[in-house]
Structure 1
Amino acid sequence: MRQFECGTLVPGCDWHTRAEEDAEIVRRAVEHMRTAHGETVIRENMVDNIKARIRDEAHKAA
């Protein structure tokens, strides 16, 4: 499972998402940028910044 935390890109934002595929995370993150942060144009460098911040989900100790 992969995850993205918006706060790594937009300080103070606690929105996050997780999915199996990076493409789905990027789709959700772009939609979040539009609705929550008022971004009307999503430039390629924004997508690159989102992709660079997608991480493997940390496994919790049992």
Structure 2
Amino acid sequence: MRLFECGTLVPGCDWHTRAEEDAEVTRRAVEHIRTAHQEDIIRESMVEAIKARIRNEPVVTTQA
């Protein structure tokens, strides 16, 4: 699972999303930036900054 945490780009924002594909994570993040942070124009540099911050979600294991 891939993860994007908005606070890595916009300090103080707790929003995050996860999906199997980077393209879906990016789509959701762009929509969040538009609506939550009132950005009318999403420049390519912003998209690249989002993509650079997408990472694998840590795997949590439980001991039996």
Whether these two folds match at TM > 0.5 is: yes
Moved over 4 A (4+): none
Q: Where in structure 1 are there 5+ consecutive unaligned residues?
A: none
Identity over aligned residues, as a percent? Answer: 74
Shift of 1:55: 0.4
Could you give the per-residue CA deviations for residues 16-61 of structure 1, whole angstroms, max 9, x where no partner exists? 0000000000000000000000000000000000000000000113
Q: What's the counterpart of residue 51 of structure 1?
A: 51
Q: Where in structure 2 are there 5+ consecutive unaligned residues?
A: none
How do 1:32-51 and structure 2 match up within 5 A? 32-51=32-51
Could you give the per-residue CA deviations for residues 2-25 of structure 1, whole angstroms, max 9, x where no partner exists? 000000000000000000000000
TM-score, with normalisation over the residues of structure 2?
A: 0.95
How do 1:1-62 and structure 2 match up within 5 A? 1-62=1-62
How many pairs were matched up? Answer: 62
**RMSD over equivalenced CA pairs, Å:** 0.5
TM-score, with normalisation over the residues of structure 1?
A: 0.98
Amino acid at match of 1:39: E
